[in-house]
Structure 1
């Protein structure tokens, strides 16, 4: 007798990353009904290079707004805020005036500014070290303000009416970023809002002390007192006042030149601050003059006699600040700026230049640039507006609801004294430029279907409101602030109806001498980028159910748009495990107990478990008998199945009979018409496998 045994596995367990997950979702469902900050921050202490799996930070606890310190399986975001290099070598006849030229502040190298990535923590070995699963894919320079953001890992997120999800304002070290991960659905209900407006780069601070003019009002000639040359610039990716002070021979923190995406400060005497910038057309900055408001015939006429704007209809980046002080009542539609007939400082084109739009094509992201301050010598000038912050939603479900998402720039601060003493005029300095819209990233493997708006608009330039006391008259005018440039909005999928990243409008003055042209040289910010996309992907896995002492066939695949060269890796533990396989289809070793493998695809900041279940198995064992084995020609007999293991199918083979095959469990009436010796075989199956028996010369 020959005995042949085989088995096959038919039970397949399908597991997706949304039904069986690792650390994604570990912080549970979150419902926001009040104003809440959900991130924690620290700073990078030492430079970090591509390929590193560890960073040194100021503090690794990161427990603000969390119930426990940072631990294995938590999520962080690393983001370099500043560090761009700008043109600082413009030649000038005056030692400290290179910063007045439009070429000053041109971005020569972004360096590591705008670099970011998300990382899953693998361990916290001490108070200043964080280790993570995937290696860094970008470089980071600690001296250029790199923040580490602890990111909550919610299973779902709901923002109800009255709920405001926000973050800390950028303060030069931390803040400005709101980042969350959501495994399931994100719902922003009517009356709920995600808002980081005005939480980005900081506006220039106005000079609030009364000072004497020099050189007849062209106050940027005095290299020894930079504050007398012009107002503070806003902050941007090239730095803030402390960093500008290191440029060239110093003093670069003041005056109209735009440092990268920061708005320039108004030059003396009493010019308005320029608006900050974020996204836009990097080839259409037009020397920082902004976009003139040509909505009326009078406005068109006035712009057409401004030699810097006569042929300009639209520009990208921040808006330019308004003209310097005028003292005489001339016709603004016929007498151009920079004309001595205006008196005062001749109503010069000295307003702060608008910040430069930034390049998003390489995958960097940025805070909104800040507006420059208005220039003043009477202690009444106003500050520039802050830029919008950064929102980053990393989700694996839909983003829905009828609430709002906002990352607007702040308005330039208005000059509005409200009242004035008898016989005096108040409000007699220039206004600040506005902040640019921030950045909104909705990176999801689901769909964005919000029915309300997603907005990253630039702010409005500061207004000048002159107030005359009793017996006084308004007999001068100064520069309003430029509008902020539009921000940046990118989503992975979906068509929300309202995505807006418009530039902010310019400020105006109520000086009656320019009543036909209240912008008085201030321009609007340019449009940002509201309809951009960002790729997203997820990992889908198929597990297996097997019998003991067998191997399993399990697999993983990528959905969405994974990065080029993404590699599927299999590990034998969730953290610090051994790499056991690379590729999509993995055949395990022989297993005796249920086993979980972990799949990783860097740079995804998570591992997905793949379960192999070892179940008790009863294999079939084939056996049979017959009613007789020695018969006469044309006699018929019956066969009885004696197999164990509860077979579910039978295949009989009766060689030499008039019925050569049968699928019945117990075949009957099997007849043999010829003399001889004949073989019989039986093949059986159950859910765990197959067995067969072959008996030669059984009949």
Structure 2
């Protein structure tokens, strides 16, 4: 049958949604801290404090352990270090995709005020942060940075609640003739502890300390309630400790997997219960940052003699985050390496720490001697009479570098396994990797060959300024190609759209807009940063928003029968007007398109508008 349109008046409106929180709009900072000139070793510029209560998305309050060193108007980085929620079982195979957990999530924010135990932000948080396990780091904003030769700018080490991050912004160049370092500032290695039990035959992934299990290295699940602390199974990117008798500690994981610790001693059967290497982590370095995993401790009892003849696991690399106009200095080094474990004598050695995370994003060029996020080596064993287990090597780290010209050799390989002096050929006695080229242990390098910049500001095309529209107008504009455009209606999030290769974007509301004056704004997100908001665009949704009633049975009915269906539709309309709640609270029930029944379609003209965009999912 031929479809007939009947105009109805229905007031379908959008429910209010939270205002869009402030994303990264800080570019190269405001330069409020002036010039930084580093003239000595071990200079640190980042104060940090633990978050002591959860911070909700959309909230502005950060409850912290200590506000010393923080000031209103300054920039901070909020970082989720530990994953919230339960830990997976030890020995869960990798790699681990961080999209399933909140660890590594971060954002920049500006402080509005500082009070005892409380930091208040100028704008709402985009994401939620849990406690314990998150920290707040002060991020200085310089006009220019210079590190002299024989000098270093370093990250304070992670202490289990805060630290491990070196972060700053610079409006001009960073001239580095020395060292920018977060070596060993990440997750901590498992501590060696002498065991008097003379225990042999340990077999458990989670072997209690008093039953012969050595301490695991720290990783992203170390803060989970009831997380196991000893035994040869890896937990996330934290390596397993060696099991009795004298198994070696595993290497921590990050971009690459950590290596395995060496076998138990000959009298215990040279069993394969050395600590397993920490898992490789998969995540976008634009949206996450993570410490390198700690190496596991070696197991030992020194044949019943008291003493520290075994060694602890080594710490992983910390985080370096730099944004600047350029990074200069072909003699300068930027480094977030995992540390190497110490050598053992008559007990087992610990594993190396994994490489950390480095982000360098500049507008112009990146030039340096080296950019390193390498794993540390496993500890050797020096006993020449009988073999004792060496430690596994730490996995490579994660590096993101962005600039118009990139001239900075990068090293993201793993550390090597330790060796046992008494093993034939001074081999690794079951520890790994023995070859730095093993692909599963390599770190991850991401290069962006364009200058760092905020996306261009979106421009509205339609509706025109002051235009009267129907209830679901097509909202069209232009933005930087490939960016995600966030659309605000009356300062409330409406939806998002992708700008295509030509820069055009279109968003159709998923429900009818309320009658009356409206105002649009748009912001563009690209490569983890956000544009300034667009100019406002005012328009009006006309009164008595028209929708068309298509009446049909979907079966090719003749015209006289169609008249019957039209009469029935008018009758139903009259009944619906006499009954309150037939279309309740601004909601309509739409039959599935293409099936028999009553179909409601919005129209902005006498012709039916049959396209309905799918619902848009809010960001953040």
**What is the TM-score with the length of structure 1 in the denominator?**
0.58
Deviation at 1:195?
Answer: 0.6
Aligned to 1:538: 454
Partner Cα separation in structure 1 for residue 31 and residue 408 of structure 2: 29
Structure 2 residue 444 is matched with structure 1 residue 529? yes
Aligned to 1:59: 66
Aligned to 1:450: 367
Aligned to 1:432: 350
Partner Cα separation in structure 1 for residue 407 and residue 197 of structure 2: 52
Aligned to 2:78: 78
Distance 1:375 1:566, change over 3 A: farther
Deviation at 1:32?
Answer: 0.8
Give 5+ residue unaligned stretches, structure 2. 1-26, 458-477, 492-517, 536-620
Distance 1:455 1:601, change over 3 A: closer
Q: Spell out, residue by residue over 1:503-559, the C-alpha distance to the aligned partner (whole angstroms, 9 max, x if none).
A: 111100100xx2236111110271101234499433789xxxxxxxxxxxxxxx988
Alignment of 1:315-334 (within 5 A): 317-326=257-266
Structure 2 residue 33 is matched with structure 1 residue 27? yes
DSSP-derived class of the 1:516 partner:
helix
Partner Cα separation in structure 1 for residue 383 and residue 326 of structure 2: 51
Segment drifting more, 43-52 vs 230-239: 43-52
Aligned to 2:486: 565
Structure 2 residue 281 is matched with structure 1 residue 358? yes
Preserved contact between residue 479 and residue 485 of structure 2 (Cα < 8 Å):
no
Aligned to 1:47: 54
Distance 1:207 1:137, change over 3 A: same
Alignment of 1:270-669 (within 5 A): 270-280=246-256, 317-326=257-266, 344-361=267-284, 363-378=287-302, 379=307, 380-395=309-324, 397-402=325-330, 403-415=332-344, 427-444=345-362, 446-466=363-383, 474=385, 476-493=386-403, 494-511=405-422, 514-516=423-425, 518-524=427-433, 526-533=441-448, 536-538=452-454, 564-565=485-486
Aligned to 1:195: 181
**What is the TM-score with the length of structure 2 in the denominator?**
0.66
Preserved contact between residue 94 and residue 279 of structure 2 (Cα < 8 Å):
no
DSSP-derived class of the 2:367 partner:
coil
Q: Spell out, residue by residue over 1:456-477, the C-alpha distance to the aligned partner (whole angstroms, 9 max, x if none).
A: 000001000016xxxxxx1x21
Aligned to 2:131: 142
Preserved contact between residue 209 and residue 215 of structure 2 (Cα < 8 Å):
no
Distance 1:224 1:521, change over 3 A: closer
Partner Cα separation in structure 1 for residue 206 and residue 335 of structure 2: 41
DSSP-derived class of the 2:366 partner:
coil
Partner Cα separation in structure 2 for residue 154 and residue 559 of structure 1: 28
**Aligned residue pairs, count:** 450
Distance 1:50 1:562, change over 3 A: farther
Deviation at 1:58?
Answer: 2.4
Distance 1:225 1:25, change over 3 A: closer
Deviation at 1:208?
Answer: 2.2
Distance 1:107 1:443, change over 3 A: closer
Preserved contact between residue 49 and residue 163 of structure 2 (Cα < 8 Å):
no
Distance 1:185 1:483, change over 3 A: same
Q: Spell out, residue by residue over 1:31-60, the C-alpha distance to the aligned partner (whole angstroms, 9 max, x if none).
A: 111131001111212211222233222233
DSSP-derived class of the 1:130 partner:
strand
Distance 1:212 1:254, change over 3 A: same
Tell me which of 140, 153, 158 is aligned to 2:146.
Answer: 158
Give 5+ residue unaligned stretches, structure 1. 1-20, 64-68, 90-98, 281-316, 327-343, 416-426, 468-473, 542-556, 571-579, 586-598, 611-699
Distance 1:88 1:237, change over 3 A: closer
Deviation at 1:429?
Answer: 0.8
Partner Cα separation in structure 2 for residue 275 and residue 41 of structure 1: 27
Deviation at 1:413?
Answer: 1.7
